[in-house]
Amino acid sequence: MSGSGKKSVWSELLVPVVAVLVGLVIGAVFMAATGASPLVAYEALLRGCFGSPVNISETIVYTTPLIFTGLSIAIAYRAGLFNIGAEGQMIVGMVAAAVVGAGGAGLPRVIHLPLTVLSGAAAGAIWAAVPGYLKAKLGVHEVVNSIMMNYIALFFSHYLVNGPIKDPGIATPYSAEIADSAKLLRFVGDFHSAFRLNTGILIAVAAAVLVFYILYRTTTGYEIRAVGANPDAARYAGINVPRAMAVSMLLAGAMAGLAGAVQVCAIQYKFLDLFVFEGFGFDGIAVALVAKGNPLGVIGAAALFGALSRGSQMMQGMAHVPKEVAGIVQAAIILLVAAEGLVEGWLRIPGIGARARRAVAARKEDA
């Protein structure tokens, strides 16, 4: 890698890292304002994330769906689209996986498990195809359509789990439990072990690598990025802009659908009635933003938000700090990443470091 390339990679990492550090400082200010010790609170947060094997397991469990939804947002972002519908795409992925997982009992595991997971991806892709088609062919804004599709998915799933797919043997609105042949393996214990770390994280990391390869090593990925950079120039160069937009939304929906499928196959083993959105799809927006749309960066950003979500529970119990403070830290990080110019301005202050300033300048030259 050339020196310029190294600087570019460093500069891409610089703003998110500074945003995280400043976000933690802002969180500490709010903690101090409530009379709590920031050091004790952050110690509790770290213990909640990494203090025991079970806590590490739960942090990874929180991280896994965020990788998928972060990838979903990042793919659309590269095409110049804002897929705010990942929440709904995840829901239909959960429903599809629950139906196929329970209905395919008797199939060999080597067939049933991939079929169940892929059914979730397919359902998410189909759900995303609606706003994708409307955007590509009719120019209808994808944000409005994908928001509406979220609510349709939520209420449609509510109807299904209270009717056609409800387990008749119980009063609670749950679907039937999926067969063991459709369950993702856990690393320790059986399917109902309290140690919930499972092979879903391997699928998530593999998906991130695959998305990176598609975006940066294939013609389709090049077209998606070209359309995102400048659709008029891409059209002039002979790229089918509507097709690139539609493909990006299909891929984005598939990633969100995978999040739902893995959640069912590894954690819930059934579809549970949802009265409100779980939030993984919306949190994926923050993950993709902090990762700056880089599929590999999504892994680290998802781990950060997964750790904050898990650790905030321990922080509330041990340090008596409201877990909402972790939300303040997340919000501060997002705002600082979004206000990239502000962070870059800080980096120009004398004494911050010549290396940091050179990195920012290198990124502007490479842009």
3-state secondary structure the chain: CCHHHHHHHHHHHHHHHHHHHHHHHHHHHHHHHCCCCHHHHHHHHHHHHHCCHHHHHHHHHHHHHHHHHHHHHHHHHHCCCCCCCHHHHHHHHHHHHHHHHHHCCCCCHHHHHHHHHHHHHHHHHHHHHHHHHHHHHHCCCHHHHHHHHHHHHHHHHHHHHCCCCECCCCCCCEECCCCHHHCCCECCCCCCCCCCCECHHHHHHHHHHHHHHHHHHCHHHHHHHHHHHCHHHHHHCCCCHHHHHHHHHHHHHHHHHHHHHHHHHHHHCCCECCCCCCCHHHHHHHHHHHCCCCHHHHHHHHHHHHHHHHHHHHHHHHHCCCCHHHHHHHHHHHHHHHCHHHHHHHHCCCCCCHHHHHHHHHHHHHC
Same domain, 160 and 183: yes
Question: Is the domain of 99 the same as that of 235?
Answer: yes
* 300 part of a folded domain: no
98 and 7, same structural domain? no
Domain range for 358 is 1-34+322-367
The reply to whether 149 and 13 lie within a common domain is no
The pTM score is: 0.88
Q: Is residue 315 part of a domain?
A: no
In a domain, 343, yes or no: yes
Do residues 64 and 212 share a domain? yes
- 153 and 25 belong to one structural domain: no
**Where is the domain boundary, 294, 313, 347?**
294
Instruction: Note whether 25 and 87 are same-domain residues.
Output: no
Mark which of 246, 279, 294 sits at the end of a domain. 294
Residues 60 and 155 occupy one common structural domain: yes
**In a domain? residue 224:** yes
Q: Are residues 238 and 359 in the same domain?
A: no
Per the structure, the count of domains in the chain is 2
| Position 244 in a domain | yes
- Whether residue 305 lies inside any domain: the answer is no
Kindly report the CATH number assigned to the domain that includes residue 116: 1.10.3470
Domain shared by 151 and 268, yes or no: yes
Same domain for 204 and 118:
yes
pLDDT score at 179: 95
**pLDDT tens over the chain, length 367 residues:** 444 444 455 556 677 788 888 888 888 898 888 888 888 888 888 888 988 888 999 999 999 999 999 999 999 999 999 999 999 999 999 999 999 999 988 899 999 999 999 999 999 999 999 999 999 999 898 999 999 999 999 999 999 999 999 998 888 899 999 999 999 999 887 777 778 999 999 999 999 999 999 999 999 999 999 999 999 999 999 999 999 999 999 999 999 999 999 999 999 999 998 888 898 999 999 899 888 899 999 999 999 999 988 888 788 777 777 777 777 887 887 777 776 655 555 555 555 445 545 554 555 555 5
Quick check: is 311 in a domain? no
Domain final residue, candidates 249, 277, 294: 294
For residue 264, being part of any structural domain is answered with yes
Q: Are residues 79 and 170 part of one domain? A: yes
